[in-house]
Amino acid sequence: MDKLFDLIIIGAGPGGYAAAEHAAKFGMKTAVIEERELGGTCINRGCIPTKSLIYAARLYSIMNHCGQFGLQFEQGGFDLKKIFSYKDDAVGQFREGIRHKFQENGITYIEGHARVIGSKSVRVAAADGSETTYGAQHILIASGARPAIPPIPGVLLPGVVTSREVLSEPVWNYDRFVIIGGGVVGIEFATVFNALGAQVSVIEQAERLLPPMDEELSENLESLLRSRGIEVYTGAQVERITNEGGLACCFTQAGVEQTLPATRILVAVGRRANIDDLTGENVSLETRNGRIVVNGDFMTSIRGVYAVGDVIEGIQLAHLASAQGIHVVEKLAGKPSSVLLSTVPSGAFVDLPIVPSCIYIDPEIASVGISEAEAKRHGISVKCGRYSMSGNGKAIISKEESGFIKLVFEAHSRMLIGAQMICPRATDMIGELATAIANGLTARHLMFAMRAHPTFNEGIAEAIRNIEE
């Protein structure tokens, strides 16, 4: 065995690098093994590159509508290769930041494919074919996930892509862009390419977009997308993809088969955990539905081997993976946990998730806690406060008056148990409400804090006041 560590982490994405940095600060001798790029999917093929494209598309849209501010923008256009270059710069800067922290904290970074070959040993196959075995007191699996490929006839035809290809090919093939999947990934790409001038269609199997989110948010989003010229087909089943006389997607909606011609088709129907070839011949991890099974402390079926992030069951979010990784490290170091993933406040008697969910479109979407419908399913009486952003001063100034804020309070105590918003800066504002839920704050507590004028954040105060009207 070549080297011994206190902790070996498989995967250098948010779950892995956050856990490694935390472990190093506790004095643990730590190694991170990554088969691809430092930063994992989030930094290289997910959050950072996607949000970079969203930001560029948003600026382009603002410039094309700058006349409403008394400004002139002539000879408007874009260079997709330069947009991708800007995106790559952002990715590289973030990646180098992680590399610097690894060096600063003495974290060993190992490139290669890792396999767990025992409760305290990992074998790494390098690109040159050589293999090295490392030992550790503890092993943390944070190998993430990749786009799922559904068994649709024709799904492997040229021109049918996943988010990975969209983010790596700076070639305009989006005049007719068909997206299979109305979840977060599909909706974000729909808004990007719609802003850049593509004719976009979204096909979703469920009866509404963003099925896990609040129904009011879904309805508002669908109306917004349609107003921008994006075609939305919900309750639709994709039957096949063809390339006879041109690429096309065939689907059935309400018993009627329809065909959409396309220059490119994006498959965005979820992600599959990276668990293939993760263990040696005599080692097996318990899995369920293609993901690793863990207990409440994220330990797998092998004692001393843990797993976090997209490789386990549950919500797939970068910040959740980081929080889970930090929780594991604190447990191993014998430190009190600084991470709270959910809370059961007195009087509510239900587990409230305090992990924010965010969608970075225009306007942004964010939620935390439970929705009004979920509360009613749990038998909780609620009072909801709503505020339309059409009256918000900052929204009026920036011409971003669409959207609303909805706060869900337990009816008797007026304790906040959920928040949903579709409005400018929603992804920044949701943190305040996650903190409020985590601490059992009531409407009265939330009103103690003064909010500056004019800000989008004033909408939260208005939504709180609404519960008494």
Token reading at 104: 């600063």
| Domain limits, CATH 3.30.390.30, in the chain | 352-466
Q: Helix crossing, 426-438 with 458-466: angle to 10°? A: 50
| Domain limits, CATH 3.50.50.60, in the chain | 3-146+272-332, 160-269
Contact 371, 40 (CB under 8 A): no
**C-alpha Rg value of the chain to the nearest Å:** 24
Reported as a single tens digit per residue, the pLDDT across 215-271 is 999 999 999 999 999 999 999 999 999 999 899 999 999 999 999 999 999 999 999
CATH of domain 352-466: 3.30.390.30
CA 439 to chain centre: 24
Distance CA 434, CA 440 (A): 10
Distance CA 317, CA 308 (A): 11
CATH superfamily of 160-269: FAD/NAD(P)-binding domain (3.50.50.60)
* C-alpha to C-alpha distances, 62 to 58, 76, 229, 399, 433, nearest whole angstrom: 6, 11, 17, 10, 29
β-strands 30-34, 108-111 pairing: parallel
pTM equals 0.93
Query: What is the chain's pLDDT, residue by residue, as a tens digit (469 residues)?
Result: 567 999 999 999 999 999 999 999 999 999 999 999 999 999 999 999 999 999 999 999 999 889 899 998 876 789 999 999 999 999 999 999 999 999 999 999 999 999 999 989 999 999 998 999 999 999 999 999 999 999 999 999 999 999 999 999 999 999 999 999 999 999 999 999 999 999 999 999 999 999 888 899 999 999 999 999 999 999 999 999 999 989 999 999 999 999 999 999 999 999 999 999 999 888 999 999 999 999 999 999 999 999 999 999 988 999 999 999 999 999 999 998 888 787 877 666 688 889 999 999 989 999 999 999 999 999 999 999 999 999 999 999 999 888 999 999 999 999 999 999 999 999 999 999 999 999 999 999 999 999 999 999 999 999 999 997 7
Q: Choose among 5, 20, 8: nearest CA to 321.
A: 20
Contact 210, 218 (CB under 8 A): yes
Reported as a single tens digit per residue, the pLDDT across 409-437 is 999 999 999 999 999 999 999 999 999 99
- Domain 3-146+272-332, what fold? FAD/NAD(P)-binding domain (3.50.50)
Phi and psi at 132, nearest 5°, equal -135, 140
Instruction: Tell me if residue 453 is catalytic.
Output: yes
Q: Which residue's structure tokens are 């408007």?
A: 76
Q: Which of 100, 378, 412, 453 is catalytic?
A: 453
